[in-house]
Chain A
Amino acid sequence: GDSVTQMEGPVTLSEEAFLTINCTYTATGYPSLFWYVQYPGEGLQLLLKATKADDKGSNKGFEATYRKETTSFHLEKGSVQVSDSAVYFCALLSNFGNEKLTFGTGTRLTIIP
């Protein structure tokens, strides 16, 4: 079945550091890929998405590129801020009619000033 493997956390970085959170997936066909963010005490918010190979999703300075050859969708940001502290989830949506999102385990990110 479909699965998402995400970088173990927690991750602690200093403000303005470069961020990478690794995500790889296993799925049949060509899934859509997503990064969701969960701020403390809140629900999940879609951060960015990519629906086909080589697509780059971007939002709020975050980027991720859909790499089919490596089955990866790593999240990156060039300069993190304290306000980026949250839990980040990588997820996939199969294109075989099953509309459920399959999530990774989440990576807790803490940015220190």
Chain B
Amino acid sequence: DSGVTQTPKHLITATGQRVTLRCSPRSGDLSVYWYQQSLDQGLQFLIQYYNGEERAKGNILERFSAQQFPDLHSELNLSSLELGDSALYFCASSGSSGTAYNEQFFGPGTRLTVL
């Protein structure tokens, strides 16, 4: 158990809908990262938050957005869903920023299926 929790575990929805994925980082971790794992794109970095502020952005679509709340949990919002958004979405957390050596601890993921 990494200490990172994600809810829900599975999500099935229809095209055009909007969903919210939730992540609670390990106790004390300030950074939260979101990754998408799909069959055609592999594991890709989406976005990072550090202590409530957006810190880095990867290949995140404009239809997707995220935020980190004062209690450090994070939500990833996916809207106008398309079939191609079906994927496993991972959240990871780490202790602090500013060093290249931080280990990122991954949650179990949320499997999103868009029908």
Contact = CB atoms under 8 A, between A and B. Distances in A.
B109 A99 contact: no
B104 interface: yes
A101 B104 contact: yes
Interface residues of B, number: 28
A102 B45 contact: yes
A66 interface: no
B108 A43 contact: yes
Interface in B79-113: 90, 92, 94, 97-98, 100-109
Given A42-B108, A44-B90, A99 B48 contact: yes
Given A99-B31, A99-B48, A31 B104 contact: no
Given A32-B101, A43-B2, A93-B100, A98 B43 contact: no
Given A89-B43, A98-B56, A100-B33, A44 B100 contact: no
Contacts of B8: none
A59 interface: no
Interface string A85-113: 00001000111011111111110000000
Interface of B: 2, 4, 31, 33, 35, 42-45, 48, 55-56, 58, 90, 92, 94, 97-98, 100-109
21 contacts: A32-B100, A32-B101, A43-B107, A43-B108, A44-B92, A46-B103, A93-B100, A93-B101, A93-B102, A99-B31, A99-B55, A99-B56, A99-B94, A99-B97, A99-B102, A100-B58, A101-B33, A101-B45, A101-B92, A101-B104, A105-B42
